[in-house]
Amino acid sequence: MSSLTKSLHPDEKVKAGKLGANLGKAGIAVAFAFMVVSLWLGSQHGDHWKRFLHAYVIGWAFIAAIPIGMLWLILLHHLTRSRWSVVVRRIAEAITGAFPIVWLAGLGFIVPVLAGNDNLYYWTYLAHAKASAASSPEAQAAWDALARANGSVVHKLGWLDPTFFTIRYLIYGGIFTFISQYFARTSRKQDETGDPALSTRMRVASGPSMIVFALTTSLVAFDVLMSLSPAWYSTIYGVIYWGSSCVAGFSALALFVLGIQRTGRLTHSINEEHYHDIGKWMFSFTFFWAYTAFSQFMLQWYGNMPEETVWYKYRLFGDWQWVSWAILLGYWAFPFVFLMSRWTKRIVPSLVFFAVWQLVFTWLHIYWNAMPSYDWWAKTHEAGGALVSLDLGPLRGPIEYHHVGFSPLDITVWFALCGVLVAGVARNLVGNLIPVKDPVLGLSLGHEQL
């Protein structure tokens, strides 16, 4: 890295002006239009909004991943006293400023769960069956049959409880919001005072914040996505979600930076050197995601325990095997090979192509994680002398019963929530778009690759 120091170009436009307001209107328009279409499609689906809720969880996990990835960048920036990222840090802070709106949007699936809808999470179905068991002998017999068939899940119902689930969800959002706003406010305060001690304060705070961030990110992944298949578990699942969050976060950062520059702002401050670093992080986390995903697969498949391999069995055979191959080749192999090149990362149109590509495949990866749990297998048990028809939840029954079945709902809900994210980011694009009084801004402006 070069130690060259530069000053802000005298003609540089660093003020956001009306950029945030205009982008926010566009985001709201997209969110409203696609959500109206999604609600209409959901009302026509005839499955008690089950498909809509699954599509909503997938879309929400996608838009939550982007600010999560950028919050990690901000914490790492301060923790390591990074130089190159100073000029893009304010944009990353704007992305993390979307946490309150993203978490508010998540109430679209949280409220139905809390209100008693049991079409999304199988554990809510079990919780309601357990709660109603005392109402009649038939209900008790049905619950006994369910408990015998779901022994590995029943003991988790203390954690997987709709009310407790909602409380945890709100706590996670509060933690992310508090951390992101602390660093954003302190950064903007430095624009006013120029106090270099504020950089030290943020560096000290970044250490414990990183620990809290790691735990919270893992718990979000466990609760929102992994619990869609409550009988299965993986201790590395949260790490995999964090890796894909960083892939999506850096990809989105590249697009936001380019979009801002296309308005005539920051055209002198951010150059191909900084795009190169964004590309290097995209490349790094593409490989990191593949490493952690393979680690999970290898250990569970080699262990050959049915309670673990069942998650992969339904994804490696039948309809889902083609999606698995698409993710392996599209999310890892193809971008890995091309992002390895120095010039792929320095040529902006090329980097933008891979940024869009990785965002699409991040959504597909989350879809692959969640949607196989959509189909529940029904089976008839004899309980108390009577035949009882039971839904035995996700990843049960013949593999042929589980279909990919892409729906327009999957895309319209995703686009609607992307509009929500854009609107959330836009509201934070105010004032200076770079930290103009950061002590090492000059080194960031003069940053050069080796």
434: pLDDT confidence band, cut at 50, 70 and 90? very high
Please report, for the chain, the start and end positions of each structural domain, with discontinuous segments joined by +.
19-445
Lowest mean pLDDT among 19-28, 141-150, 426-435: 141-150
Residue range 284-306: mean pLDDT, rounded: 93
pTM: 0.95
pLDDT in tens, 157-195: 999 999 999 999 999 999 999 999 999 999 999 999 999
Is pLDDT of 148 > 50? yes
Report pLDDT for 133: 85
CA 84 vs. chain centroid, Å, equals 25
3-state secondary structure (DSSP) of residue 379:
strand
pLDDT in tens, 327-383: 999 999 999 999 999 999 999 999 999 999 999 999 999 999 999 999 888 776 555
Report pLDDT for 384: 58
Q: Which residue has the tokens 């009084």?
A: 437
Is pLDDT of 70 > 90? yes
Is pLDDT of 385 > 60? no
Cα angle value 372/126/113 (rounded, 5°)? 70
Share of the chain above pLDDT 90, in %: 80
Residue range 216-230: mean pLDDT, rounded: 97
CA atoms of 16 and 433, how far apart (whole Å):
6
Share of the chain above pLDDT 70, in %: 96
Report pLDDT for 346: 93
Is pLDDT of 79 > 70? yes
Q: No. of H helices and E strands in the chain?
A: 19, 2
Tokens representing residue 66 in the block = 């982007």
263: pLDDT confidence band, cut at 50, 70 and 90? very high
Instruction: Kindly tell me the sign of the dihedral angle through the C-alpha atoms of 403, 44, 163, 130.
Output: negative
How many residues are recorded in the chain?
Answer: 450
pLDDT in tens, 117-132: 999 999 999 999 898 8
Among 43-57, 203-217, 303-317, the range of highest mean pLDDT: 203-217
Mean pLDDT, the chain, whole residue set: 93
Q: With contact defined as beta carbons under 8 Å apart, do 229 and 395 qualify?
A: yes
Report pLDDT for 4: 83
Is pLDDT of 305 > 50? yes
Residue range 5-10: mean pLDDT, rounded: 89
pLDDT in tens, 309-321: 999 999 999 899 9
Lowest mean pLDDT among 39-43, 254-258, 386-390: 386-390
CA 59 vs. chain centroid, Å, equals 8
CA atoms of 68 and 77, how far apart (whole Å):
14
CA atoms of 62 and 298, how far apart (whole Å):
25
CA atoms of 414 and 411, how far apart (whole Å):
5
Report pLDDT for 389: 64
Q: Which residue has the tokens 């697969």?
A: 297
Angle between helical axes of 237-261 and 197-220 (0-180°, round to 10) = 130
Residue range 143-170: mean pLDDT, rounded: 91
247/142: higher pLDDT: 247
Lowest mean pLDDT among 131-135, 264-268, 439-443: 131-135
Q: With contact defined as beta carbons under 8 Å apart, do 33 and 418 qualify?
A: no
Q: With contact defined as beta carbons under 8 Å apart, do 55 and 119 qualify?
A: no
Report pLDDT for 80: 95
pLDDT in tens, 19-43: 999 999 999 999 999 999 999 999 9
Is pLDDT of 1 > 50? no
Q: How many CB atoms lie within 10 A of CB 42?
A: 23
- CA atoms lying within 13 Å on the CB side of residue 149: 25
